[in-house]
Amino acid sequence: MLLNKARLQTGLSDFGGNSFLEPLEILLRSLRDEARLNARGVFMMHHTMLRLLTNRLLTEQAFVENPAMIDTPIDRPLYIIGFPRTGTTLLHNLLACDPAARWLRLWEGLYPAPSPQSLINDPRIGKVEDWANGFDKAVPRLATAHKLEPRGPEECLWLIEHTFTDLIFELRAHVPTYSRWLAEHEADVNIHQYYRRQLQMLGAHCNGSHWVFKAPRHLPGLAGLLEVFPEARIVQTHRDPVAVLPSLCSLCEILRSAASDVIDKPAIGTHWHARLKSIVERARAVRATVAKGQILDVQYADLVTDPIATVRQIYDQHGYGFTKPFETAMRQWLSKNHQHKHGTHRYTLEEYGLNEAQVLESLSE
């Protein structure tokens, strides 16, 4: 029904291959049978799926109209990876201050097709501003954990969710069957090939010296990412897991509360504890095969204490040009965006049925 509705809305029929059908089917079944969605949750999920399917159709049409986009280069992209809640958003905002860099805007992620002609004046911006305002009202606590800025830099999840293979769906709803499937497939090459296709479309008319990306999902998907982007330069952020895990659980609780009236906090804790443990083990195995110097490790404490020096270290290690206008832009951004600007995000391990000893034992990197 959703596929046909997307076809009818657009008058198009090419979704760009069929690899997305299996995860979509599993996700929809899990949402129906396990997520215990309320009426708002059903509405939200339906519109999300329809948006993603419609975007896939529009993406393929964009390539029909401009097949040369397939040759858009993506040279030495810079990726921020790491557990959620480890300073990835702070670092991403700082790296996006580089006037030479290209980065993903939230409005581009939500509506990537057709290829943007301008990053400043596009009708999609106003549409996403209205969406973000509505979401803020529906989930007012979210801003304390992650403020949605339509014109600001955002995670790759907004692109990769078009393959229906992103952990954002686990954050939004209780979908254990889907989660088990995803854990075995999130490094699949076809996911990253489609993601690259989206980036080529987005960069066809609006490009920079290099792309700057961030998404925690790139940590479990690292093998697939590096196969499709072998020249990628990577920064991995690290933070005490005793701080990371309850923060992630709290974010999950906030997002799920928008779609369900049944929130099981101990179950959230159990799920993300096990999920992060699996991600640590998988990423460690992939990292052992990566060329020396391709990944730079950054500690959260160092990033927060001296963000400018941390960024300079990243640029020195990975060979990007650190300029005075870049440094000035970072200092200006930092002066306007102090920590807890949108309120304090409060949480404890205990409220999610966890304790410090077990987390340290299983999640130390």
pLDDT average, residue stretch 132-156: 82
Q: Is the pLDDT of residue 140 over 80?
A: no
In one letter, which amino acid is 253?
E
φ, ψ of residue 238 to 5 degrees: the values are -135, 140
Lay out the sheet containing 295-299: strands in order across: 101-103, 210-214, 78-82, 233-238, 295-299
Give the number of other CB atoms < 10 A from CB of residue 176.
14
Q: Catalogue the long-range contacts made by 117-126 (C-beta closer than 8 Å, 24 or more residues apart).
A: 117/205, 117/206, 118/206, 119/206, 125/150, 125/151
How far is 45 from 164, CA to CA, in rounded Å?
A: 12
Q: How many CB atoms lie within 10 A of CB 154?
A: 26
Q: What is the pLDDT of residue 144?
A: 66
Average pLDDT of span 52-64: 98
- Average pLDDT over all residues of the chain: 94
Helix axis angle for 39-65 and 21-33, nearest 10°, is 170
Whether the Cβ atoms of residue 223 and residue 184 lie closer than 8 Å to each other = no
Calculate mean pLDDT across residues 237-261.
93
* Placement of tokens 């992620």 in the chain: 109
pLDDT single digits (tens) 300-324: 999 999 999 999 999 999 999 999 9
Residue 269 Cα distances to 115, 183, 255, angstroms:
40, 17, 14
- Give me the percent of the chain exceeding a pLDDT of 90: 87
Q: How confident is the model at residue 342 (pLDDT cuts 50, 70, 90)?
A: very low
Instruction: Specify whether the CB–CB gap between 266 and 53 falls below 8 A.
Output: no
pLDDT digits (tens, 9 = 90+) for 92-104: 999 999 999 999 9
The pLDDT value given to residue 347:
81
Pick from 105, 116, 315, 118: nearest CA to 209: 315
> Which pLDDT score is estimated for 238?
95
